[in-house]
Structure 1
Amino acid sequence: MSFFSDVERELVLTARTTVAEGIVALELTAANGRPLPNWEPGSHIDLILGSGLERQYSLCADPDVRDRWRIAVQREDGGRGGSLAAHALEPGQVVRARGPRSTFAFAPPASGERAVFVAGGIGITPILPMVRAARAS
């Protein structure tokens, strides 16, 4: 577990992109302009959305990029409001988050071995960095 897993920080939403029907990718940077903590494939953050809403979202970009984090959020109209609040965020807004932490660790395959990934829908988000790590190994 990362030293930073319980640290709460301010992030700025720098980009909001619709990537599929009902799914937005949110790009977040540190409000203070500093590099964000290291993370590994399978890590997630807790996004604190106000009104007591906290939701976990998988980091789905390149772990070597330290100036921003990227998550994807599927809109759940019948849910309890977390995805609706995340979908309502606009670039420039400040949001609080904790993490990263990993509860879905990935060990890249040894040289010459292959890895097979199976994922669908929004479940692909934690898998994307794993695919990059497998290719790099």
Structure 2
Amino acid sequence: MNTEIELELVVAAATEPATDVRLLELRSPDGAELPAWSAGAHIDLLLDDGLVRQYSLCGDPDDRSSWQVAVLREPESRGGSAHVHNKLGVGDPIKARGPRNNFELEPAAAYVFVAGGIGITPILPMLASADAA
């Protein structure tokens, strides 16, 4: 997957599926398909003041209409989670780079998944991929 792709996206939805977790659905403003990705992939969000933060994609890899990322509010945030929680709303533009995958799900006869808290985000699409296989 090409790590040099920089996209202008829009926040299509913003929800709170758990305490202090913000789930963003990102789409192309013109409705174009987004680049393909596989379970375990992440993107960079380019935020204010030159902040670049990596977030795991946690939606359906087969749905090319949007990307989903979940961001935990960090009380000691260096700016990324505070920006996502306090400044981004539906309709807001945002730049993203990626996707890229340094956490690829390797084919296997069986899997054991262990995750907790916000660390579940890259595991969710892996569970679905393993189940489909």
TM-score category, normalised to shorter length: over 0.9
1:19 Cα offset (Å): 0.9
* 2:43 counterpart residue number: 45
* Runs of 4+ with deviation above 2 angstroms: none
What is the correspondence of 1:1-137 to structure 2 with a 5 Å cutoff? 2-3=1-2, 5-88=3-86, 89-109=88-108, 113-137=109-133
Asked if structure 2 preserves the Cα contact closer than 8 Å seen for 1:108 and 1:133, the reply is no
Gaps of 5+ in 1: none
**TM-score if structure 1 supplies the norm length?**
0.93
- How much identity, in percent, do the aligned residues show? 52
Superposed displacement of residue 108, structure 1: 3.5
CA distance in 2, matches of 1:32, 1:102: 26
Please state how far the C-alpha of 1:114 moved relative to its aligned partner: 2.4
The Cα RMSD (Å) is 0.9
2:83 aligns to what SS in structure 1? helix
Q: How many residues align?
A: 132
TM-score, structure 2 as length reference: 0.96
Counterpart amino acid of residue 9 in structure 1: L
Q: 2:103 aligns to what SS in structure 1?
A: coil
SS of residue in 2 equivalent to 1:72: strand
Q: Is the 8 A contact 1:60 1:125 kept in 2?
A: yes
Q: Distance in 2 between matches of 1:11 and 1:99?
A: 12
